[in-house]
Structure 1
Amino acid sequence: MSYSDAITETRAELRELYKAIPAATQGFSTLSKAVTDHGPLSVKEKEYVALGMALVQRCAPCINFHVEALMKAGATREELGDVLAMAIQMGGGPTLMYAGTALACWDELAAAKG
């Protein structure tokens, strides 16, 4: 399955989850919007933090979402590489494996944008 397809599938799963437990998911959405929209860090900087945490937590769907968000926020592949290196330094071997996934996701989404 492509990363784009995985992102689409995860979004569909989340839509169903939001219908099943609206109070909990609305609360999470409110928190996410508040964190993203406020504070001294840019959205791109916040997404780099989120990606680093997703790598260390080994959450493949999170990695895909945050790579996509970074592209939308104007990140570069070079910046992504720097974040991946820092995450590997902090997370060790398992993070190295997921960093490869993040880079592959970036490359596929970038190629699709043409």
Structure 2
Amino acid sequence: MTDYQQELTEIMDNNKNIFSSTGEVGKNFLNVHDAAIKDGALDSKTKALEALGIAIAIRCEGCIIQHVKGAIKLGATRDEIIETINVAIMMGGGPSTVYGGKALACADQFLNK
């Protein structure tokens, strides 16, 4: 069984390294992230769930882990995550069932810790 907290820690360490090494590119990416996720016409939780759905559909496991954690931190429930997975499956087909399963396992770990 994957330890998603351990995976998240590794991802975050890698992110610190890459963003501190890429200068303006890293800084600007983080600025884009912060601007995109902040409350606006849609609240931050909804945007985090959208990012999760996209991560599932494009099959980015590291993105899935980060966006599951972020969505939960913003108050997303298991049911909201499942509905997000459902939309990702609609858009991404069979491969999204695999990565959606990873997202749900990840959410279950984070929600139960």
Secondary structure, aligned partner of 2:41? coil
Identity level (%): 35
How many residues of Structure 1 are paired with residues of Structure 2 in the alignment?
112
Contact 2:57–2:88 under 8 Å retained in 1: yes
Partner of 2:99: 98
Q: Which moved more, 1:29-38 or 1:4-13?
A: 29-38
CA 12–53 in structure 1, closer or farther in 2 if over 3 Å, else same: same
Partner of 1:19: 20
Deviation of the 1:39 alpha carbon: 2.4
Letter in 2 for 1:107: D
Q: TM-score, normalised by structure 2?
A: 0.94
Partner of 1:49: 50
Deviations 1:9-48 (A, max 9, x none): 0110111111211211000011111112252100011011
Secondary structure, aligned partner of 1:39? coil
CA distance in 1, matches of 2:36, 2:72: 19
Letter in 1 for 2:15: L
Deviation of the 1:56 alpha carbon: 0.8
List runs of 5+ in structure 2 lacking aligned partners: none
- Please list every run of at least 4 consecutive aligned residues from structure 1 whose deviation after the TM superposition is greater than 4 angstroms: none
Aligned pairs for 1:1-114 within 5 A: 1-112=2-113
Deviations 1:28-74 (A, max 9, x none): 01111111225210001101110111001100000000000111111
Which structure carries more relative contact order (alpha carbon 8 Å, separation 6+)?
A: 1
Compute the RMSD of aligned alpha carbons.
1.0
